[in-house]
Structure 1
Amino acid sequence: MSDALFQATLIGFVSSEKHNYAFTSCLTRVYNAHNFIRDICVFKYRLMMALAWLVVPFVCLQRIMTGKDSFATFKARFGFGQGRSANARLIWLHAASLGEFNTLELLLPALSEKFSTYDLLITVSNKLAFERAKNLASGRVHVEIAPLDFSSVINRFLARWQPSCMITIENEVYPNRIFKAAQQALPIIFVNARMSAKSFATWQKNPRLAQQVFSRISYCFAQDQNAFERFSALGVSRERLNMLGNLKQFQEAVPVDHPDLQAVQGVFPYDKTLCVASTHKGEDQIVLDAFARAKKTRPDLKMILVPRHPNRSAEIAALIAAHGFSYATRSRSELPDQADDIYLADTVGDMSLWYSAAATTFVAGSLVSVGGHTPYEPAVFGSAIIHGSQYSNFQAIYERLVENKGSLQADTGEDIAAAWVCLLEPAARSTQIEAAQATLFDSNDKDKMLDEITSKIEALL
């Protein structure tokens, strides 16, 4: 069970209407009489976190057996990491996964320069981001797996590192982490903050808990107007909010030089290949139907299919076989040959290879109620974008892309096939890519934006 799953379970409990009324009333009387519980929702959250300890041994074993954690990383999740800083000045930076870590990398040089007398602690939530982050470790930069949101774990973590402030990149709002940081009077800052409609709706079901959590945020740089309004509605006062814009607009493509990329490009022509990025259950059938339709008129087309969760590989392979397509599977150390139609790229951490290998990308997570995935990464690699209509995680930017003709929206196999065939025309594809990059990327205000962020952090320290 992941840190995020713990939070989802607990917030679900808080929002339930099936609580025993007498139990709640009793606790409320204790609160009124003894000033023991400041807020009943906060107490229930902490109670559920305490109950979650009952499943911890099983979760530990499962994650270690499946390779999602090692013994060392699991120790760190419970606050028993080995890292320490001799510097009394330490800035804690949290980036949940690779997407958030990519944003952090844009901010890190400015932070390092502005706060040259501080050490920097980077925490991440998953193993892949941890492997990337370790490359930044140095005398001043420390890297560790993020602590789970148990009160005792956060206490251990804070006692060991003693940070001067806590900065969260984009998302992951954990109540105990915020409560404990606030108790120590640490500035709590969110940078490039975003919040999906789904997360917002969940927090709205728990207004008292939300108020306790979000009112403790010292400052929030929202990446768009939707995030600004949602953080405000949940308890961040508007004078502590700034709709600064999205740091991802300053991303630059890092040239990819990998033998597997060269091997794929040797048999999958760039302009005839579609990358289907980060599919979720229910989407593979639709994109395979689109592929079958497109191949009726263009039998030379190829597809790189990248599932969001590699453990779905066997299920997807069965769908591919049912359509009669020939394919190779990356997790089996296979590379495609000339006869293959599809490369099932069922590994993690390789998206830059596949964006580089395909002239067009279908950004998945947008055909089902997941909320979509970022359009910045395919665009920065110069891949034209197709997506579905369910993009609430990045609503503002997708709306701008569609309005500026920087992407094509398609929700059915027939429409996806038609969009792809349209983008096979070099002029149409080039025009769309230029529109997407003009919409998404603007380096003119980079220094100004970074200076505004670092200056506010400096003022709060």
Structure 2
Amino acid sequence: MLLYRVFLLLLSPLFALALLRQWLRGREKFRDLTERFGARLARRPRSHAPLLWIHGASNGELTAARSLIEEALNRAPGLEILVTVNTVSARRMVRKWHLPRVQVRLAPMDFRPVLRHFINAVQPAALVSLENEIWPNRFTLLKKRGIPVIVAGARMSERTARRWSQMQWLFGPTMRATIGAVTRLAAQDTASEQRLLQLGLPSDRLLPRMNLKTTVEVQSASEEALAPLRQHFTRDTTLLAASTHEGEERVVFEAFDLLRQTHPDARLVLAPRHPGRGDAVALELARAGLSYTRRSRGDLPDSAPVYLADTLGEMALWYQLAGLCFIGGSLTPRGGHTPFEPAQFDCALLHGPHVSNHIAAYQALDRIGAAIEVRDASALAQAAARLMSDPDAAARMAKDAHEALAPLRAAQLRQEAFWNVLADLPKLQALA
């Protein structure tokens, strides 16, 4: 652990510069920066109700965990919950939920003095950390104080596991201490579970697997929001590129250019994973010679073939307007984003080869032809053209996707083994 602390100390000037950059760009306010260091954090009286600390990285993780949070509130009417997040947008999203007995703030930096102050003030009964949020100082300090650490929906890609293994010679003791601080862990899938066991997680600390994202139901967009857009899109000939990352948009643009040779009426809705990349994506569109309008500027689609949907919180709109959905994060080695959301809205699903984040779901889809894997622009264009030419086939794919994903959705978040672990904790027995 000492080497990790020294490493963090050496990197602290870079962290400071990164935070300063966020401030100078207007993405965070000065009080947001200080919140990461525990500012404006009053100490809770010991007489207060038990507090469960739930941490998730950003919007996707917290959206997936909302049902977990609501279940905890329902089970324990006296429980308080503190949600911590890594991004300002996720904090804003959780605040808009207006859940009773739930507070949200930016997560403390993984520096020991910051964490000591945070833990002393908050006095959590336990930490539930979501997916791949595994922090050495946070976990080991909680263990030292006898505060349980539960990881829900733990995800570890092959790439991450390989990096951890390669750094064993340097950070081996830190990794072992961090993994050793985990009280219980529910992996997202079998592969993640095996990788964590190989990295030293004792098998008796495993809980039944849970994928938080299988329980997410996205709220449909209102008719008021849809009405101004519907006249510009024909669902059978609209392709949505959802949650794309750097390196993927260029492939999508090339595919769309090929697609328009056979389907000149085709439309593309491009929704980058990080809307802050809107300017960069717009520059790529200009370089590709594609005419576009831009959601973040209040533009309507009009006659431009591409609509750049560079806003947050509007994915339901695009799922409802597009009959075909290419799922981003899958053409580059990022593990792919969830297929559950577009499948919910009856989209025909297309994806790249990198789908390790939801491998069981994609295997189930591909097994019965409920999704199409594409590896390059030509394959994406051909698949989209085939489905646009045969809307009945696209509809069958969407129907089959529901069938393929149903068994995975059936493994609902309310797993008694997970809740029983929390209920066994002295300060959280109201969750029983």
Same fold (TM over 0.5): yes
Query: In the alignment, which residue of structure 2 is the partner of 1:331?
Result: 296
Distance 1:211 1:388, change over 3 A: same
Question: Which residue type is aligned with residue 355 of structure 1?
Answer: Y
Q: 1:174 aligns with which of 119, 124, 135?
A: 135
Distance 1:340 1:83, change over 3 A: farther
Query: In the alignment, which residue of structure 2 is the partner of 1:407?
Result: 371
Query: In the alignment, which residue of structure 2 is the partner of 1:342?
Result: 306
Q: 1:458 aligns with which of 393, 415, 423?
A: 423
Query: In the alignment, which residue of structure 1 is the partner of 2:125?
Result: 164
Q: 2:240 aligns with which of 270, 275, 282?
A: 275
1:79 aligns with 2:38: yes
Query: In the alignment, which residue of structure 1 is the partner of 2:395?
Result: 430
Q: 1:186 aligns with which of 147, 153, 172?
A: 147
Question: Which residue type is aligned with residue 220 of structure 2?
Answer: P
Query: In the alignment, which residue of structure 1 is the partner of 2:81?
Result: 120
Which SS does the other structure have where 1:232 is aligned?
Answer: helix
Which SS does the other structure have where 1:267 is aligned?
Answer: coil
**Which stretch of structure 1 is more off in the superposition, 164-173 or 73-82?**
73-82
Query: In the alignment, which residue of structure 2 is the partner of 1:3?
Result: none
The aligned runs of 1:207-218 (5 Å cut-off) are 207=168, 208=172, 209-218=174-183
Query: In the alignment, which residue of structure 1 is the partner of 2:325?
Result: 361
Whether contact under 8 Å (1:225, 1:243) holds in the other structure is no
In the alignment, the residues of structure 2 paired with residue 84 and residue 301 of structure 1 have an alpha-carbon distance, to the nearest angstrom, of 57
Query: In the alignment, which residue of structure 1 is the partner of 2:430?
Result: none
Distance 1:317 1:113, change over 3 A: closer
**Which stretch of structure 1 is more off in the superposition, 256-265 or 384-393?**
256-265
Query: In the alignment, which residue of structure 2 is the partner of 1:59?
Result: 18
Which SS does the other structure have where 2:152 is aligned?
Answer: strand
Q: TM-score scaled by structure 1?
A: 0.85
Query: In the alignment, which residue of structure 2 is the partner of 1:18?
Result: none
1:203 aligns with 2:167: no
**Which stretch of structure 1 is more off in the superposition, 217-226 or 264-273?**
264-273
Unaligned runs of 5+ in 1: 1-41
Question: Which residue type is aligned with residue 319 of structure 1?
Answer: E
Percent identical among aligned pairs is 32
Distance 1:139 1:296, change over 3 A: closer
Distance 1:349 1:253, change over 3 A: closer
Q: 1:446 aligns with which of 412, 421, 430?
A: 412
What does the per-residue CA deviation read over 1:419-445, in whole Å, with 9 as the maximum and x for residues that have no partner? 112222222112211222222245545
What does the per-residue CA deviation read over 1:336-357, in whole Å, with 9 as the maximum and x for residues that have no partner? 10x2100011223322222222
Whether contact under 8 Å (1:278, 1:363) holds in the other structure is yes
Whether contact under 8 Å (1:171, 1:194) holds in the other structure is yes
Whether contact under 8 Å (1:110, 1:450) holds in the other structure is no
Which SS does the other structure have where 2:81 is aligned?
Answer: strand
Deviation at 1:318, TM superposition (A): 3.5
Deviation at 1:251, TM superposition (A): 2.4
In the alignment, the residues of structure 2 paired with residue 142 and residue 258 of structure 1 have an alpha-carbon distance, to the nearest angstrom, of 31
In the alignment, the residues of structure 1 paired with residue 261 and residue 286 of structure 2 have an alpha-carbon distance, to the nearest angstrom, of 17
Which SS does the other structure have where 1:185 is aligned?
Answer: coil
1:371 aligns with 2:330: no
**Which stretch of structure 1 is more off in the superposition, 63-72 or 140-149?**
63-72
Deviation at 1:285, TM superposition (A): 1.9
Query: In the alignment, which residue of structure 2 is the partner of 1:420?
Result: 384
What does the per-residue CA deviation read over 1:250-285, in whole Å, with 9 as the maximum and x for residues that have no partner? 222312116554322221212211110122222222
Q: 2:284 aligns with which of 319, 322, 337?
A: 319
Whether contact under 8 Å (1:222, 1:228) holds in the other structure is yes
Deviation at 1:108, TM superposition (A): 1.7
Distance 1:311 1:113, change over 3 A: closer
Deviation at 1:138, TM superposition (A): 5.3
Deviation at 1:157, TM superposition (A): 0.8
Q: TM-score scaled by structure 2?
A: 0.91
Deviation at 1:199, TM superposition (A): 1.4
Question: Which residue type is aligned with residue 119 of structure 2?
Answer: L
Deviation at 1:235, TM superposition (A): 1.7
Q: Which has the higher contact order (CA 8 A, sep 6+)?
A: 2
Which SS does the other structure have where 2:207 is aligned?
Answer: strand
Query: In the alignment, which residue of structure 2 is the partner of 1:149?
Result: 110
1:49 aligns with 2:49: no
In the alignment, the residues of structure 1 paired with residue 154 and residue 361 of structure 2 have an alpha-carbon distance, to the nearest angstrom, of 14
What does the per-residue CA deviation read over 1:160-206, in whole Å, with 9 as the maximum and x for residues that have no partner? 10001000121211111111111111110011111111211121123
What does the per-residue CA deviation read over 1:219-270, in whole Å, with 9 as the maximum and x for residues that have no partner? 0111210111111111211111134232322222312116554322221212
RMSD: 2.1
In the alignment, the residues of structure 2 paired with residue 315 and residue 155 of structure 1 have an alpha-carbon distance, to the nearest angstrom, of 40
Which SS does the other structure have where 1:242 is aligned?
Answer: coil
Deviation at 1:84, TM superposition (A): 5.4
Which SS does the other structure have where 2:270 is aligned?
Answer: strand
Number of residues of Structure 1 aligned to a counterpart in Structure 2: 418
In the alignment, the residues of structure 2 paired with residue 314 and residue 102 of structure 1 have an alpha-carbon distance, to the nearest angstrom, of 26
Whether contact under 8 Å (2:210, 2:411) holds in the other structure is no
**Which stretch of structure 1 is more off in the superposition, 181-190 or 194-203?**
194-203
Distance 1:47 1:88, change over 3 A: farther
Question: Which residue type is aligned with residue 335 of structure 2?
Answer: G
Query: In the alignment, which residue of structure 2 is the partner of 1:284?
Result: 249
1:131 aligns with 2:95: no
1:251 aligns with 2:210: no
1:140 aligns with 2:106: no
In the alignment, the residues of structure 2 paired with residue 177 and residue 459 of structure 1 have an alpha-carbon distance, to the nearest angstrom, of 22
In the alignment, the residues of structure 2 paired with residue 406 and residue 452 of structure 1 have an alpha-carbon distance, to the nearest angstrom, of 32
Question: Which residue type is aligned with residue 99 of structure 1?
Answer: G
**Which stretch of structure 1 is more off in the superposition, 392-401 or 143-152?**
392-401
